[in-house]
């Protein structure tokens, strides 16, 4: 993971206020493994512009990144066209949606390049009370919804696949699981217009792009390590979604001077995701040296789960297993059962 992360760091993009530290060499890691991990985490395309002139890197790594970049360049052009077409249809209904997650980079890439971020779908947040209309527009246009989806229990409508291009779209009711009216109000109040002149679309402000990224990043298996293994941050790296973490690091590095960090921390705490933001930022600083404030990038944070009876029992069991020499075996069993 660290060898792949090293491919993604680069000097500041032209015109950016900050930048990720210069990329070190790939190291002694096996070239085939590095190429495979870069493709697995969908960061090979992002690495190519940064290693284009790095003739010291293994040919296998360079070829994997170059081919991924060229393929993704074409794919993102399709995604952008689909997004503009859908947003135009929503605009005709009086709906101005907000682009979320990777889709923001189709219109406002922090590094200035819309072709490097790999996306598997498009996420659109509807204004309060307009999510059903937005989803019905997809259905009217022939998008096929994922069957068996309980919309009432989820923060977005079912994934819907386009009839011709196959692009998958999600219409969100709230920005993330567990969110509600308060989050909607705050995000829409601070949203900024998209640079896409053809349509009316909003993007979360930089502060909220970072917050949403962190919340989404801690929804994975990483959450277990963040809560129950806070004394061993090095183990958490293996669970990191490298594509998402790089999004965070790049956005923070390129636009850090314009971010009100205390306000971001206050909003994260307000919505119950302060620990997620701090730990995610710590990992971004650890892997990408993004220049984050030390008050933001913190791994050992207070989490109520660890203060509970379960938390105390978990900590005691971990001590016993370590003393018996069984901790690694239990971890290996758990990782196999999760996968």
Q: What is the CATH number of the domain that holds 115?
A: 3.30.460
Query: Are residues 43 and 149 located together in one domain of the fold?
Result: yes
User: Is the per-residue pLDDT at 101 higher than 90?
Assistant: yes
Task: Concatenate the DSSP letters of all residues of 275-314 into one string.
Answer: HHHHHHHHHHHHHH-----TTT--SS---HHHHSHHHHHH
Query: What would the pLDDT profile of 201-248 be if each residue is shown by its tens digit?
Result: 999 999 999 999 999 999 888 988 888 877 778 888 888 999 999 999
**Lowest mean pLDDT: which of 94-98, 160-164, 220-224, 325-329?**
325-329
Query: Are residues 54 and 199 located together in one domain of the fold?
Result: yes
Average pLDDT of the chain? Answer: 87
Report yes or no: 51 and 59 within 8 Å, Cβ to Cβ: no
How many Cβ atoms sit within 10 Å of the Cβ of residue 51? 21
User: Is the per-residue pLDDT at 323 higher than 80?
Assistant: no
In this structure, the dihedral spanned by the alpha carbons of residues 270, 272, 276 and 282, taken in order and rounded to 10 degrees, is 30
Of 212, 267, 21, 20, nearest to 98 by C-alpha is 212
User: Is the per-residue pLDDT at 92 higher than 50?
Assistant: yes
Q: Write down the pLDDT at residue 228.
A: 80
CA pair distance 27, 31, nearest whole angstrom: 9
Query: Are residues 190 and 223 located together in one domain of the fold?
Result: no
Query: Are residues 196 and 263 located together in one domain of the fold?
Result: no
Q: Which of 162, 181, 204 represents a domain boundary (last residue)? A: 204
Higher pLDDT, residue 126 or 18: 126
Q: In what order do the strands lie in the sheet with 202-203?
A: 144-145, 160-161, 168-172, 122-125, 98-100, 202-203, 192-193
DSSP tally for the chain: helices H, then strands E:
16, 7
Q: Give the pTM.
A: 0.86
Query: Are residues 43 and 145 located together in one domain of the fold?
Result: yes
How many Cβ atoms sit within 10 Å of the Cβ of residue 11? 12
Strand (E) or helix (H) holding 170: strand 168-172
Report yes or no: 276 and 215 within 8 Å, Cβ to Cβ: yes
Range of the domain at 46: 2-204
Report yes or no: 210 and 296 within 8 Å, Cβ to Cβ: no
**Lowest mean pLDDT: which of 52-61, 230-239, 288-297?**
230-239
Provide the number of structural domains found in the chain: 3
- In sign, the C-alpha dihedral spanning 204, 47, 218, 77 is positive
Q: Write down the pLDDT at residue 23.
A: 45
Query: What would the pLDDT profile of 140-189 be if each residue is shown by its tens digit?
Result: 999 999 999 999 999 999 999 999 899 999 999 999 999 999 999 999 99
User: Is the per-residue pLDDT at 72 higher than 80?
Assistant: yes
CA distances from 189 to 139, 204, 205 (A): 29, 9, 10
Query: How would residue 308 be classed by pLDDT, with cut points 50, 70 and 90?
Result: low
Query: Are residues 224 and 272 located together in one domain of the fold?
Result: yes
The mean pLDDT of 248-277, rounded to a whole number, is 95
Q: Please give the distance of CA 244 from its chain centroid, rounded to a whole number.
A: 3
CA pair distance 30, 19, nearest whole angstrom: 28
Q: Which of 204, 232, 264 represents a domain boundary (last residue)? A: 204
């Amino acid at each position: 993971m660290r060898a792949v992360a090293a491919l993604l760091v680069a000097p500041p993009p032209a015109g950016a206020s900050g930048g990720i530290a210069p990329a070190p060499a790939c190291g002694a890691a096996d070239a085939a493994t590095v190429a495979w991990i870069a493709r697995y985490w969908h960061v090979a395309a992002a690495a190519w512009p940064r290693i284009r002139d790095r003739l010291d890197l293994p040919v296998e790594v360079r070829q994997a990144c170059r081919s991924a970049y060229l393929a993704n360049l074409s794919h993102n052009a399709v995604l952008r066209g689909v997004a503009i077409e859908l947003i135009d249809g929503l605009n005709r209904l009086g709906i101005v949606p907000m682009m979320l997650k990777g889709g923001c980079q189709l219109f406002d890439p922090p590094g200035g390049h819309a072709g490097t971020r790999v996306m598997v779908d498009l996420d659109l947040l509807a204004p309060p009370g307009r999510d059903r209309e937005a989803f019905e527009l997809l259905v009217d246009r022939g998008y096929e919804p994922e069957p068996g989806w309980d919309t009432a229990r989820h923060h977005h409508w079912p994934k819907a696949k386009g009839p011709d291009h196959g692009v998958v779209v999600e219409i969100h009711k709230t920005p993330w699981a567990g969110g509600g009216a308060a989050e909607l109000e705050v995000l829409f109040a601070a949203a900024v217009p998209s640079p896409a002149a053809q349509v009316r679309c909003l993007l979360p402000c930089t502060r909220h792009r970072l917050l949403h990224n962190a919340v989404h990043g801690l929804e994975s298996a990483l959450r277990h390590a963040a809560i129950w293994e806070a004394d061993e941050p090095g183990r958490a790296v293996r669970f990191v979604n490298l594509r998402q973490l790089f999004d965070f690091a790049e956005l923070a590095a390129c636009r850090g001077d314009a971010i009100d960090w205390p306000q971001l921390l206050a909003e994260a705490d307000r919505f119950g995701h302060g620990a997620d933001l701090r730990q995610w930022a710590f990992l971004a600083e650890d892997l990408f040296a993004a220049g984050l404030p030390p008050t933001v990038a913190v791994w050992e944070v207070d989490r109520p789960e660890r203060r509970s009876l379960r938390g105390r029992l978990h900590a005691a069991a971990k001590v016993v297993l370590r003393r018996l020499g069984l901790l690694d075996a239990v971890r290996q069993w758990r990782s196999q059962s999760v996968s």
